[in-house]
Amino acid sequence: MCKRASIFTLILFVLVGLLLSACNSAKHIADDELLVVKVKLKVANEELDKASIYSIIKQKPNRKLLGVFPLYLGIHNLFINKTESKIKNNIGEPPVIYDSLLTTRTLNQLKLYLNNRGFYDAEVVDTTHINQRKKKIKVSYTIEENKPYKIANLEYAITDRVINEIVLRDSSNSLLKNNYNFDVDYLQEERTRITRLLKNTGYFYFSKEYIFYEADTTSKSAEVTLGIKDIEQKDEKDEVYFEQHQPYTINNIYVRLNYDNQLTYQLASDTIFLNNKYFIDEGNFKFKPKAIARAILLEKGDLYQLKNQEVTYQNLSALSAFSFISIQFEKDYDNPNSINCFIRLSPRKTKSFTIEGEGTNSGGNLGISGNLVFQNNNTFKGAEAFSVRLKGGLEAQQVINTAEKSSLGNNLPFNTLEFGPEANLDVPRFLLPLSSDRFSTRINPKTTINASFNFQQRPDYTRRISKIFLAYSWNETPKKTHIIQPIDISIIKLDPTVQFQAALEALNNPFIQNSYRDHFIASSRYSFIYNSQEASKGRNYFYFRGNAEFSGNLLNAISASTNSIKNEEGAYELVNIRYSQYVKSDVDFRWYRNHKFTSLVYRLSGGIGIPYGNISAMPFEKSFFAGGANGIRAWGARQLGPGSLPNAEENLVDQIGNISLEGNIEYRFDITKILEGAAFVDAGNIWEYNQGDDRPSTQFKFNKLWDDLAIGVGAGIRLDFTFFILRFDAATPLKDPGSPKTSQYNVRVDETNLNIGIGYPF
């Protein structure tokens, strides 16, 4: 407890020091200078994006922690060389000194921005408030936008009859509508849309530069004409003439499977003609042409379509067998209006051995692990990825029974040993009884077969987990992913120590005893993932994952229909182990609001698992737990709940439940290039429902939901080393449902929980 309090006190001391330094932010400002402390933007029209307008402003105040404390300037001031008249250090953020020229440039840029949005009569005024004694200045920009110019009518001036018909047929998708603002962004986006439309209709050489606009704005509205120019050419006499755009058909498709971009001249090759494509290799054909052909949507005789080229590139990249992929087209001069396609693929090294070492963080329990990995990226010559991994690790876990040994050796801090092999095969198509060619390669289908064995030795028990699963995954769209696991079989063998078994029996709780016994799990699982994150990481985005799992129904039906004999507990068994029967569902929703130097992340997750039929309680591995480095961080992993279970019972067993609810808010901010800070609030708990647990405080009831919620607050720092993030979070209980009601809202600094993790918590 004292050690945790000391760490918390140290962190608090550092933060207070930085904040005090930040409060006197202008102490190193020269007498003829003014520190910009506030920039205010006044915009009345809700049509205008205030955040976009604010980003145009050329001079903004120093960034502030939680919008109040100029922490980065405070860090900078701590390291100033006080003997110098000018600041020369690069730590933190230097003060923003007011520059009137930048204010003038801002006014011009704001006016230009408003014109582009259609507000041609807008006025922009700046005002300043100076505190000469404190050497500080506040700047305000007020925008009187007035009425915007609207699109009154849209006409088309397209001389090419075929292109005109294509554009008009798709005009319902136009981004230019009557009564819309005459906005330059709309005009540019419409050019891009039409260009893509034509490129998906065979017009390979078309570009948006051929699209032009004419606008009449004399009546404070816009009569807009959209035109498409023909191709300008010159004859032998250098006289200009015009040709219409032509759609192009794909003629020959050449796929080189052994391309080396380091060689000017490629290696001598043999050619196979398959599916109207030429496959070129050195002669031994390491890849089956049929397997590569499945990933290619481009076909001889088809009109060129940009979307087919993009999906082909995505499919080839998803194979993970090639280090370089290039898809290019060249005009076929022997065939009018035809282009030849050249796909160049550089294969990765087929077989590899690697040794990996890493720090681990399993629910807040720290450890080290190592992996010996063999990988074959082309196992059956169809770009199948097969890997065998031998994993071993040591971990420092919570000791449930304090009478047990606390470590694996006198000089080791670890008390848990884990090792075992894992084999995984990823096949870039569906392995099904029916032909996989019936499924479109646009969805990037994949089959995964995985088998593993894991041996775990910890002070309280030894556990052996054998697992095998079959999974099918595909992408409905770039943002939507589906995963189906029709077969997911696990056999868990658990051997408790004598002392731990005695502790379980002393509790005399059927639910807890059922959680620590052998299990046979045969389940089916479906997952749906939606991720709206774009290639640009700076944008706001959503993430959602939903899972549904069913177990034991087929086995139960077989057992009942074959009149199988139940054991003395009235349950069916398979391989002398009672199999599990349950239904489970959980969801995880996240909202990321990103800015240039800060981000605010909201997370809401929850789930429920209902045992029935052949079991009375969810298996330990399928139950929910609370706490840990990626959950409610003020508590250790599996130390919170269920419900308002008194803290005195906390350390007897790992705390699990079959209902979970959790919410998190985390504010992240950059301090330096590799150092990031965070402040967060975590809330939630786990509960028991219909599992034979006779402890009333653990049961889920709506009327005591608030009383059972745990709330923790904390702060942390993260070190971003690009290839991984090392995270340190300190969190303190703010509301502890396990304490008496009279002291639930008592902040206990001595109970501060320090979490060390790899990567972000969510």
Which letter does DSSP use for residue 621 in this model? G
pLDDT value of residue 87: 45
**Do the domain assignments include residue 370?**
yes
C-alpha torsion sign, points 309, 313, 315, 316 = positive
Q: CA–CA separation, 217 vs 220, rounded Å?
A: 5
One DSSP character per residue, 516-551 reads TS-EEEEEEEEEEEEE---SSTTS-EEEEEEEEEEE
Q: CA–CA separation, 587 vs 589, rounded Å?
A: 7
Question: Is the pLDDT confidence value at 440 over 80?
Answer: no
Per residue in 154-182, pLDDT (tens digit) is 999 999 999 999 999 999 999 998 989 99
pLDDT value of residue 439: 65
6 with 118, same domain: the answer is yes
Domain termination residue (choose one: 482, 507, 532): 507
pLDDT value of residue 51: 81
Question: Is the pLDDT confidence value at 688 over 50?
Answer: yes
End-to-end CA distance of the chain: 28
Question: Is the pLDDT confidence value at 62 over 90?
Answer: no
Residue type, 443: I
| For the ranges 84-93, 650-659, 697-706, the one whose mean pLDDT is highest | 697-706
Per residue in 102-129, pLDDT (tens digit) is 999 999 999 999 999 999 999 999 999 9
Residue type, 450: N
Q: What stretch of H or E contains 111?
A: helix 100-116
488 with 386, same domain: the answer is yes
User: Above pLDDT 90, what percent of the chain?
Assistant: 45
Distance, C-alpha 508 to centroid of its chain: 44
10 with 55, same domain: the answer is yes
- Assigned token pair, 6: 């000391």
pLDDT value of residue 48: 84
53: left (phi over 0), alpha (psi -120 to 50) or beta: alpha
- Assigned token pair, 54: 């604010």
628: left (phi over 0), alpha (psi -120 to 50) or beta: left
pLDDT value of residue 413: 64
116 with 20, same domain: the answer is yes
Q: CA–CA separation, 720 vs 684, rounded Å?
A: 28
Contacts of residue 471, Cβ cutoff 8 Å, sequence gap at least 6: 447, 448, 450, 483, 484, 485
Contacts of residue 699, Cβ cutoff 8 Å, sequence gap at least 6: 643, 687, 688, 689, 693
Which letter does DSSP use for residue 201 in this model? T
pLDDT value of residue 238: 81
Question: Is the pLDDT confidence value at 135 over 60?
Answer: yes
**SS3 of 318-375:** HCCCEEEEEEEEEECCCCCCEEEEEEEEEECCCEEEEEEEEEEEECCEEEEEEEEEEE
**Do the domain assignments include residue 759?**
no
Site of tokens 């006044």: 42
Residue type, 306: L
Q: CA–CA separation, 405 vs 426, rounded Å?
A: 41
**Smallest Cα–Cα separation from 122: which of 33, 40, 31, 47?**
47
3-state DSSP call for residue 488? strand
Site of tokens 């065939």: 335
CATH of the domain at 84: 3.10.20.310
Question: Is the pLDDT confidence value at 377 over 80?
Answer: yes
Q: CA–CA separation, 278 vs 321, rounded Å?
A: 19
Listed in order, strand segments (DSSP E) in 497-625 are 519-531, 541-551, 573-574, 577-578, 582-594, 598-611
**Do the domain assignments include residue 529?**
no
**Do the domain assignments include residue 354?**
no
**Do the domain assignments include residue 353?**
no
pLDDT value of residue 263: 65
How many other C-beta atoms can be found within 10 angstroms of the C-beta atom of residue 693? 25
124 with 199, same domain: the answer is no
**Do the domain assignments include residue 532?**
no
**Do the domain assignments include residue 203?**
yes
**Per-residue confidence band for 670, with pLDDT thresholds at 50, 70 and 90:** confident
pLDDT value of residue 397: 63
Question: Is the pLDDT confidence value at 649 over 90?
Answer: no
β-strand pairing of 231-234 with 322-331 = unpaired
One DSSP character per residue, 378-427 reads TTTSSS-EEEEEEEEEEE----SSTTS-S-SSTT-S--EEEEEEEEEEEE
Question: Is the pLDDT confidence value at 369 over 90?
Answer: no
**Smallest Cα–Cα separation from 761: which of 703, 678, 701?**
678
Domain termination residue (choose one: 192, 217, 243): 243
- Which of 345-354, 496-505, 556-565 has the lowest average pLDDT? 496-505
Contacts of residue 554, Cβ cutoff 8 Å, sequence gap at least 6: 522
**Interior angle at CA 492, CA 491 and CA 496, nearest 5:** 155
**Per-residue confidence band for 648, with pLDDT thresholds at 50, 70 and 90:** low
**Interior angle at CA 148, CA 227 and CA 140, nearest 5:** 125
Mean pLDDT (whole number) for 143-156: 91
C-alpha torsion sign, points 236, 238, 244, 250 = positive
- Which of 45-49, 56-60, 149-153, 327-331 has the lowest average pLDDT? 45-49
Do 446 and 317 contact (CB within 8 A), yes or no? no
Question: Is the pLDDT confidence value at 744 over 50?
Answer: yes
- Which of 85-89, 218-222, 431-435, 512-516 has the lowest average pLDDT? 85-89
Domain termination residue (choose one: 93, 124, 144): 144
309 with 285, same domain: the answer is yes
403 with 488, same domain: the answer is yes
pLDDT value of residue 15: 57
User: Above pLDDT 70, what percent of the chain?
Assistant: 86
**Smallest Cα–Cα separation from 285: which of 319, 256, 324?**
256
pTM of structure: 0.79
186 with 310, same domain: the answer is no
Question: Is the pLDDT confidence value at 461 over 60?
Answer: yes
Q: CA–CA separation, 634 vs 731, rounded Å?
A: 4
322 with 434, same domain: the answer is no
- Which of 86-90, 322-326, 622-626, 673-677 has the lowest average pLDDT? 86-90
- Assigned token pair, 378: 């082309």
Do 680 and 665 contact (CB within 8 A), yes or no? yes
- Which of 190-204, 246-260, 392-406, 711-725 has the lowest average pLDDT? 392-406
For all residues of the chain together, what is the average pLDDT?
85
Do 727 and 760 contact (CB within 8 A), yes or no? yes
**Per-residue confidence band for 405, with pLDDT thresholds at 50, 70 and 90:** very low
Mean pLDDT (whole number) for 604-612: 95
Rounded to 5 degrees, φ, ψ at 230 are -75, 175
Per residue in 70-93, pLDDT (tens digit) is 767 777 776 665 444 444 556 667
- Assigned token pair, 621: 């591995």
Q: Which residue has the higher pLDDT, 2 or 423?
A: 423
Contacts of residue 204, Cβ cutoff 8 Å, sequence gap at least 6: 247, 248, 304, 329, 339
One DSSP character per residue, 629-689 reads TTS-TTS-TT-S-STT--GGGTTSS---BSEEEEEEEEEEEESSSSEEEEEEEEEEEEEB-
CATH of the domain at 167: 3.10.20
17 with 126, same domain: the answer is yes
332 with 468, same domain: the answer is no
Per residue in 553-604, pLDDT (tens digit) is 999 889 888 888 888 888 888 888 889 999 999 999 999 998 877 899 999 9
68 with 160, same domain: the answer is no
What is the count of structural domains for the chain?
A: 4
pLDDT value of residue 17: 56
Listed in order, strand segments (DSSP E) in 257-317 are 270-274, 277-281
pLDDT value of residue 415: 76
Parent domain of 137: 2-144
pLDDT value of residue 86: 47
Q: CA–CA separation, 194 vs 245, rounded Å?
A: 14
**Do the domain assignments include residue 730?**
no
